[in-house]
Amino acid sequence: MTIQWYPGHMAKATREVRELIKRVDVVVELADARIPQASRNPVLNDILSERPRVLALVKTDMADEAITKAWQQHFEQNGKAVVLMNAKHNQGSGKLIQEVNRLAQPKMQALQKKGIQNRSVRAMILGIPNVGKSTVINRLVGKNQAKTGNKPAVTQGNHWLKVSNQMDVLDTPGILWPKFEDPEVGYKLAITGAIKDERLDFQDVVLYLIRQLHDRYPDALKERYNLPELPSEGVELFEAIGRKRGCLIAGGDVDFDQAAEVILRDFRSQKLGPISLEKPNDGPI
């Protein structure tokens, strides 16, 4: 699958982050709990250098709870500070603030020794498009100061916002990277909405999703689409769901475009239940 998705504003945003990182004490990297590995921008490792970093797994209400816990353990065992967040219900915000303050302490103590008193901790919020940065920030500041939306590219610039007298956060646009080394990353980002739908071949993306759900959550497919048994082949399962949902064209054939939109909408609106598309033991991406 080829996705034309890397517009100029993302290249510009990447350059700006390289400059702005010099002004922050801690980075908060947001990752989608449904795809904790695929939703982490590998370019950030170079950009962020040695800056202390908190990994916030967001949208935990949409992910499989047991698998999310496994990811938390996996990342912590690899030395990362991890916070689980459900910004919709304001869960994890307090923990995130605590972690940011903890990681900022060495820098703040160094500033105090230089005679710089009462300087706020500065945190940068980073992540891919549509991962929920603005929603998280609004929970942190307690107001709807950051624009939110259920599609990529809602945040167009960089904005400093005050969490408290002791902390400021920088909202940044979502950033993707120029090339997917593994095509599965592209599929997962497309499924979860990190890439604009207008750039997608819905049938190709949803066929990948169907195969993943068949292997990982077959009971969810059976229940949602009233299928006593699931065809083993992806295209046949795709067709069976389309027929169950009445996605037909003249002559009784399945309208796969319409069926793809139905299935993708069901996934994103949690009609299939909490779903995770990656496990820590799936191997590197």
Q: Is 134 annotated as a binding residue?
A: yes
What one-character-per-residue DSSP string does the chain give? -------HHHHHHHHHHHHHGGG-SEEEEEEETTSTTTTS-THHHHHHTT--EEEEEE-GGGS-HHHHHHHHHHHHHTT-EEEE-BGGGTBSHHHHHHHHHHHHHHHHHHHHHTT--SPPEEEEEE-STTSSHHHHHHHHHTS--S---SSS----S-EEEEEETTEEEEE------S--SSHHHHHHHHHHTSS-GGG--HHHHHHHHHHHHHHH-HHHHHHHHT-SS--SSHHHHHHHHHHHTT-B-TTS-B-HHHHHHHHHHHHHTTTT-S--S--GGG---
Residue 150 and residue 50 in contact, taking contact as beta carbons nearer than 8 Å: no
Q: Is 242 annotated as a binding residue?
A: no
Residues 225, 260: Cα–Cα separation, whole Å: 13
Q: Is 165 annotated as a binding residue?
A: no
What one-letter code names the amino acid at 282?
Answer: D
Rounded to whole angstroms, what are the CA distances from 157 to 122, 130, 162, 174? Answer: 17, 14, 16, 10
Rounded to whole angstroms, what are the CA distances from 43 to 27, 171, 178, 196, 227? Answer: 14, 18, 9, 20, 42
Q: Is 133 annotated as a binding residue?
A: yes
Q: Is 101 annotated as a binding residue?
A: no
Q: Residues at the annotated binding site?
A: 130-135, 174
User: Which residues does the annotation place in the binding site for GTP?
Assistant: 130-135, 174
